[in-house]
Amino acid sequence: MSLLIVRFMVQRPIYLDCHATTPVDPQVLGAMLPYFTEHFGNAASASYLYGWEASAAVQQARETLAGAIGATPEDIIFTSGATEANNLAIKGVVEANLQKGRHIITVATEHSAVLDPCRYLQTLGFDVTILPVQTDGLVDLETLKQALRPDTILVSVMAANNEIGVLQPLAAIGALCHEHQILFHTDAAQAIGKIPLDVDAMRIDLMSLTAHKVYGPKGIGALYVRRRNPRVQLAPQLHGGGHERGLRSGTLYVPQIVGFAKAVELAIALMPDETKRVSQLRDRLWQQLSQLPDLYLNGHPTKRLAGNLNISVAGIDGQALLLGLQPIVALSSGSACSSTHTAPSHVLMALGRAKALAYASLRFGIGRFNTEQEIDQVAGGAIATIQAMRQVARV
């Protein structure tokens, strides 16, 4: 084992990366455990008790999740997560609506699980408009309106951004799409359990969900697919046993489904208190950090997730800053790193940030299990690190 890992195991850095993933809530784990062992049946086994138990648990979860977004249980299609749900929504709608048109619209700040399927469709000859955003990260409705065409079949705009936490005006976008009879898909991976969502009030036709950003297990998510007013036509992307109304074949992952529903149910029950507590922690962190000069807040100051703080630090190398912070806090920069190159965040670039500031960005994701003491520790550590690095950069 490397010395670095040993050192970090002795004193683990404080976890402030809740946009990447969250720990499973102990109550969620408790709900899941019996479905690995005594209630292990296949939900599709219809001829004996084991199957009935599994199937009843899945039905209960479907009802809980549907209730959380104002849908009916039959509208919920379980997937392996939001990546798969986004792929099913985008490719599935396009494939099933070829006679209507070949144009789709999305936004520059979307997650790669939306942008990459769209780019893939572009290589197949589909027409994709990628809308810019304003400097605060919000989509301009007038710009969206201008982009709509008679052959537009789908608009995909995320609910909450995974880097800057910005909340898009879903209800206004939904109303606009509905008026023009264009399907509206939203990636709500960061939003479920954090902000109220209602598929009817917001006129959402397809919505991608995932469990692991909201204290549920990894590897489970869902796609909401509207069946009435209008009935969404969708082509399956996985073919097989015909599970999930033929839209997503594959044996249902029962323990994960149970955990997903429990996580969402818990998050919705806790939402008022947690939003308040987490946003107070976020504001406390920003108050301390912003005593330093030349720090910039990325994204809209208030239309954002409670636990999100995204800042750019002037006069510092972004990679070096992350390395310097590693022993103190687990967080990510806006940059997407691969083994061969580091690119500045496409989200921050879309806000019009200069490249150096886009590189030198920090994304804090504060969550359920963080404490005031942890926030103060991180603030102190980050301030000292930034001051020291700026001093070095100056000489």
Ligand X SMILES: *Cc1c(COP(=O)(O)O)cnc(C)c1O
Binding site for ligand X (CB under 6 A): 81-83, 111, 113, 158, 162, 187, 189-190, 210, 213, 221
The residues pairing with 309 across neighbouring beta strands, listed in sequence order, are 364
CA 276 to chain centre: 20
Q: Which two tokens stand for residue 283?
A: 């504001």
CB nearest ligand X: which residue?
81
Query: What distances in angstroms separate CA 68 from CA 25, 64, 192, 245, 263, one per listed residue?
Result: 18, 6, 8, 21, 11
Nearer to ligand X, 97 or 162 (CB): 162
Q: Is residue 158 within 8 Å of 107, Cβ to Cβ? A: yes
- Considering the complex, state which of residue 165 and residue 324 has its C-beta at the smaller distance from ligand X: 165
Residue 69 or 386: the one with the smaller Cβ distance to ligand X is 69
166 in Cβ contact with 135 (< 8 Å): no
Quick one: 100 or 111, whose CB is closer to ligand X? 111
The least CB distance from residue 307 to ligand X, in Å, is 13
Closest approach of ligand X to the CB of residue 327, in Å: 26
Closest to ligand X by CB, 206 vs 316, is 206
Q: Report the nearest approach of ligand X to the CB of residue 256 (Å).
A: 11
- Give the DSSP per-residue string, 303-331: SB-TTEEEEEETTS-HHHHHHHHTTTEE-
Catalytic residue among 18, 118, 177, 337: 337
From the CB of 20, what's the least distance to ligand X, in Å? 7
Q: In whole angstroms, how close is the CB of 51 to ligand X at the nearest point?
A: 27
State yes or no: is 337 an active-site residue.
Answer: yes
Quickly count: other Cβ atoms within 10 Å of residue 368's Cβ: 17
Angle at 368 between CA 367 and CA 374, to 5 degrees: 70
The closest of 165, 199, 103 to 311, measured between CA atoms, is 165
229: left (phi over 0), alpha (psi -120 to 50) or beta: left
User: What is the set of active-site residues?
Assistant: 337
